[in-house]
Amino acid sequence: MSLRAEHLTLRYDDRVVVDGLSVRLPAGRITAIVGPNACGKSTLLRGLGRLIAPAAGRVLLEETDVRDLPARELARRLGMLPQTPVAPEGITVADLVERGRSPHQGWFGGRTAADDAAVARAMTATGVLELAARPVDELSGGQRQRVWIAMILAQDTPTLLLDEPTTYLDMAHAVEVLDLLVDRNLGEGTTVAVVLHDLDLAARYADHLVALRDGAVVAEGTPAEVVTEATVERVFGIPARVVPDPVSGTPLVVPVGRHRVAPVPPGFASEADLREVVDEPHPLAVAKVGDRVDPTAAEFVAAAPLVVLASGRTDGGMDVSPRGDAAGFVRVLDDGRRLALPERPGNRRIDTLRNVVERPGTGLLFLVPGVTHVLRVSGRARVVDDPDVLGLWEDPPPLALVVDVEDCFVHCSRALTRAGLWTDATPATEVPGTKALAEAAVAAREDT
Amino acid sequence: MTETRSAAPPDGTAALAALQEARARSRRRVGLAGAGLAAAVVLVFLATVSLGDYPIPPGDLLASLVGAGPARVEFVVTRLRLPRALAGLAVGAALGLAGALFQRLLRNPLASPDVIGVGAGASAAAVTAFTLFGLSGFGVSGAAVVGAAATAALIVVLARRGSGGGGLHGVRFVLIGVGIGSALLAVVSWLMTTASLTTAQQTLLWLTGSLNGVTWAGVTPLLVAVAVLVPLALVAARALPRLELGDEAAAALGLPVERARLALLAVGVLLVASAVAVAGPVSFVALVSGPVAVRLAGPGRASLPHAALVGAVLVLVADLVARHLLGEVPLPVGVVTGVVGAPYLLWLLARARTRGAS
């Protein structure tokens, strides 16, 4: 069932926590709501579950305003686990899980076979069946959380809302709880919304992410769309690296604090660093050197651990979109008339790269840390899965970008010289200077 | 744990069987505890009626209860002892049930009506009624009901203010209740000092909690009230299994939280008030009954009727002890319940502190 908020405003007394927010939980998907402390994510979840009446706006469950549904009816369609439910002293696991069935029972509580079956199913799914007769307050934190989840699974609703179900759990139990939610989502097509503290688990387990800050949606979309270095910094106010999760391929956030930061390889840092390096259109100071990547230019390319998209914006700025890898990851083919770039998981900018390469006036900028001149290559690009091309690398990538070189330029970059980050770095190897590049280009032109 | 789970994933029927087995076990315990308590109530009740300066043999007793005994015996039983025994039964049941309702509703073992000032409210109003206005009988009862209800309403309003518009918080409710209770007891003391010596003496007896001199005229309204309120309480208590999980979880399970809580508070207050109106604030019965019932019947939803039975047994036994075992002068029942209850309250407070005062 789809659940959405329209211009929802929620407040406690006079304090507005969520202000005119609109958000949609896709039906049959897992949505994670993330954000810093006190950003209103729990409040939003409470608003969606009708635990707080909206000050303005509305919440729609399948196009019905939740306020128009009787409480019991809503509880049959929407299950919610608050952050700190209370287990009454001495209550047994089976008794607690059975209470999840109360929306399906009348006030005088006729227990039916369907109730029993749902309880048994929920307890089996969460692995708490053998704890049935144990008092809940004797269980470990992980077991207790499984019992609570069993309770809302027994409620048997097509939509589930959970407020930080993993907060007090160690990582094994946190992963287990999220796996349970995925089981339910896949098994019954349940729509799940979960407030999570752990951005990495959110990115791994959610189909859809909603990032909040100060009660407003900052970003919304797939984890790959939402979890970028720029968004993380905007939402949490801390610089971070985003790398592919080696287990799931989803984005993994590595925050950068003030201490305990290992010296980074020269110049090769985050996107934010690169913006500092290349934050304006390059002064096009040096002439075109050739229509292909000649051997001297290929030397430069081989030394470059970074390729940057440099497309001038109309406002005079520059769109920077870095792809980086070990030096020499770009292959020069066909005597310098073609270049091949590997496309690996977690670095999904290949389409942007292609589009930009084909736009006039832009190109691939090859950067060598510590070296303030850059090589720009423009041409036409296409994405290939040709095994011959993919086999150029020792660990073949799933896809590659092949650029038919049209022009090749050398630039002296004032932008780079202004960035301490760049000029402080020492080049890993000797690279050809501007003069050598220009002379080689002239020589190459005369040859043909 | 991982091993047991991966070794034999229980199929649906095995799971159902395990569940039903667990349920049957707890139902057996509830049933046994209930039967035992009911038997205890009957025994103590009969003992109350038959023991005294004029002992009645069991044969005559049963005969006179169905109206076929010797006239002398019948007079003693129906005129003198039966009202007192029934009052003890009803007062105990009402206090026991009300105490358990409050404790579970507010999720705090200290939150019984005698601790949080609802009983004090009833007392203050009743004492006002007979010292200042010279009322008696129904007037006093009415005043007790009004006093208890007004006190509870005041505590609710104060507890809700400043809690951010959220639900009632157990600890907050208890602290405010204790404060109001102390203030009301001060009012009672002041009334006592201004009253005449005879009135003051009567008042003091009443304040200790006493079944002395209960007549049919006094006990009949109590019996009617208890007969109406106990079923109402048990109906309203259907909300408890959800309310106990916290306001948010209860609301998420489709319970109209505020309405359910008000209904439970109202029934609980009326139960306390009707008991206090007849016997005065018999101390500690409300505090002790709920936890004892839980010990006997096991935790969970089923122990409320048990709390009523425990309350009845407590009051009847305490009354027996007060009348027959503590010397020549019959003491008020509240003295005995107080002697038993005070150490329990101390233990509860000590435990709450070591547990971090939940």
pLDDT in tens, B254-271: 999 989 999 999 999 999
Q: Do the Cβ atoms of A100 and B253 come within 8 Å?
A: yes
Name the residue with tokens 């409480």: A71
Single-letter amino acid, residue A145: Q
Q: Do the Cβ atoms of A46 and B248 come within 8 Å?
A: yes
Instruction: Inform me whether the C-beta atom of residue B356 falls under 8 Å from chain A C-beta atoms.
Output: no
Write phi, then psi, for B47 (nearest 5 degrees). Answer: -60, -40
Beta carbons within 10 angstroms of residue B23's beta carbon? 19
Q: Do the Cβ atoms of B4 and A13 come within 8 Å?
A: no
In this prediction, residues B343-348 reach a mean pLDDT of 82
Q: Do the Cβ atoms of A71 and B16 come within 8 Å?
A: no
% of chain B beyond a pLDDT of 90: 30
Nearest to B16 among A51, A82, A116 (CB): A116
**A215 shares its domain with A308:** no
Both tokens of B333, joined, read 């029942």
pLDDT of residue A317: 47
**A222 shares its domain with A319:** no
Helices A295-303 and A434-447 cross at an angle (nearest 10°) of 140
**Residue A346 confidence (pLDDT) above 70:** no
Q: Do the Cβ atoms of B238 and A88 come within 8 Å?
A: no
Distance CA A60, CA A2 (A): 8
State pLDDT tens for residues B294-303: 888 877 667 8
Q: Half-sphere exposure of B336 toward its Cβ, with a 13 Å CA cutoff? A: 19
The C-alpha of A58 sits at a distance from chain B's nearest C-alpha, in angstroms, of 18
Mean pLDDT is lowest, of A87-101, A107-121, A242-256, B238-252, for A107-121
pLDDT of residue A253: 92
Distance CA A321, CA A345 (A): 16
Question: A124 contacts in B (CB within 8 Å)?
Answer: 9-10, 12, 15
Residue B27's pLDDT band (cuts 50, 70, 90): confident
Nearest to A132 among B18, B235, B241 (CB): B18
Distance CA B286, CA B300 (A): 19
pLDDT of residue A148: 94
Q: Are A166 and A177 in contact (CB under 8 A)?
A: yes
If one counts the domains in chain A, the total is 2
Single-letter amino acid, residue A136: V
In this prediction, residues B126-148 reach a mean pLDDT of 83
Burial class (CB in 10 A: 0-12, 13-18, 19+), B352: middle
State pLDDT tens for residues A87-116: 888 888 988 999 999 999 877 767 788 888
Distance CA A287, CA A407 (A): 11
**Residue B2 confidence (pLDDT) above 80:** no
pLDDT of residue B235: 92
Residue at A51 is within a domain: yes
Domain endpoint, select from A255, A281, A308: A255
B residues 17-46 lying closer than 8 A (beta carbon) to A: 18-20, 22-23, 25-26
* Letter string b/e over residues B72-99, b meaning 16 or more CB atoms within 10 A of that residue's CB: ebbebbbeebbbbbbbbbbbbbbbbbbb
* A168, containing H or E segment: none
State pLDDT tens for residues B312-328: 999 999 998 888 877 66
Q: Do the Cβ atoms of A120 and B300 come within 8 Å?
A: no
Domain endpoint, select from A220, A255, A290: A255
**A123 shares its domain with A226:** yes
Give the DSSP letter of residue A134.
S
Question: B348 contacts in A (CB within 8 Å)?
Answer: none
Beta carbons within 10 angstroms of residue B5's beta carbon? 14
Q: Are B240 and B103 in contact (CB under 8 A)?
A: no
**A13 shares its domain with A104:** yes
CATH 3.40.640.10 assigned to B26-354: no
**A223 shares its domain with A324:** no
Residue B165's pLDDT band (cuts 50, 70, 90): very low
Domain that holds residue A431: 271-447
In this prediction, residues A14-40 reach a mean pLDDT of 92
Q: What is the CATH number of the domain that holds A361?
A: 2.30.110.10
**A242 shares its domain with A339:** no
Residue A59's pLDDT band (cuts 50, 70, 90): very high
Higher pLDDT, A357 or A4: A4
% of chain A beyond a pLDDT of 90: 34
Both tokens of A80, joined, read 């919610």
Pairing relationship of beta strands A78-81 and A159-163 according to DSSP bridges: parallel
**Residue B227 confidence (pLDDT) above 50:** yes
Q: Do the Cβ atoms of B19 and A91 come within 8 Å?
A: no
Residue B98's pLDDT band (cuts 50, 70, 90): very high
Mean pLDDT is lowest, of A127-141, A176-190, A205-219, A414-428, for A414-428
Domain endpoint, select from A255, A281, A300: A255
Report the residue of chain B nearest A113, measured CA to CA: B16
pLDDT of residue A319: 56
pTM metric for this prediction: 0.73
**A250 shares its domain with A289:** no
Both tokens of A65, joined, read 């305003």
Residue B9's pLDDT band (cuts 50, 70, 90): very low
* A311, containing H or E segment: strand A306-312
Q: DSSP readout, A373-440?
A: EEEEEEEEEEEE--HHHHTTSSS--SEEEEEEEEEEEEEE-HHHHH-HHHHTSPPSS----HHHHHHH
**Residue A298 confidence (pLDDT) above 80:** yes
Say if the ipTM goes beyond 0.95: no
Q: Do the Cβ atoms of A50 and B242 come within 8 Å?
A: no
Q: Do the Cβ atoms of A76 and B301 come within 8 Å?
A: no
**A206 shares its domain with A296:** no
Residue B168's pLDDT band (cuts 50, 70, 90): low
Name the residue with tokens 């109530």: B41
Instruction: Inform me whether the C-beta atom of residue B256 falls under 8 Å from chain A C-beta atoms.
Output: yes
Question: B234 contacts in A (CB within 8 Å)?
Answer: none
Instruction: Inform me whether the C-beta atom of residue A122 falls under 8 Å from chain B C-beta atoms.
Output: no
**Residue A32 confidence (pLDDT) above 80:** yes
Instruction: Inform me whether the C-beta atom of residue B255 falls under 8 Å from chain A C-beta atoms.
Output: yes
pLDDT of residue A273: 59
Distance CA A78, CA A81 (A): 10
Both tokens of A399, joined, read 């896809």
State pLDDT tens for residues B30-81: 999 999 999 999 999 999 888 877 788 877 777 777 777 777 777 777 778 8
Q: Do the Cβ atoms of A133 and B22 come within 8 Å?
A: yes
Distance CA B328, CA B299 (A): 42
**A248 shares its domain with A279:** no
Instruction: Inform me whether the C-beta atom of residue A86 falls under 8 Å from chain B C-beta atoms.
Output: yes
**Residue A276 confidence (pLDDT) above 70:** no
Q: What is the CATH number of the domain that holds A34?
A: 3.40.50.300
pLDDT of residue B16: 80
Q: Are A292 and A408 in contact (CB under 8 A)?
A: yes
The C-alpha of B281 sits at a distance from chain A's nearest C-alpha, in angstroms, of 28
SS3 per residue for A219-288: EEECHHHHCCHHHHHHHHCCCEEEEECCCCCCEEEEECCCCCCCCCCCCCCCHHHHHHHCCCCCCCCCCE
Question: B241 contacts in A (CB within 8 Å)?
Answer: 99, 102
Distance CA B173, CA B187 (A): 21
In this prediction, residues A53-64 reach a mean pLDDT of 92
pLDDT of residue A272: 56
Domain range list for chain B = 26-354
**A90 shares its domain with A191:** yes
Report the residue of chain B nearest A97, measured CA to CA: B19
pLDDT of residue B34: 93
| CA angle (A17, A18, A19) in 5-degree steps | 115
In this prediction, residues A265-278 reach a mean pLDDT of 52
**A246 shares its domain with A374:** no
Instruction: Inform me whether the C-beta atom of residue A107 falls under 8 Å from chain B C-beta atoms.
Output: yes
pLDDT of residue B204: 81
Higher pLDDT, B178 or A280: B178
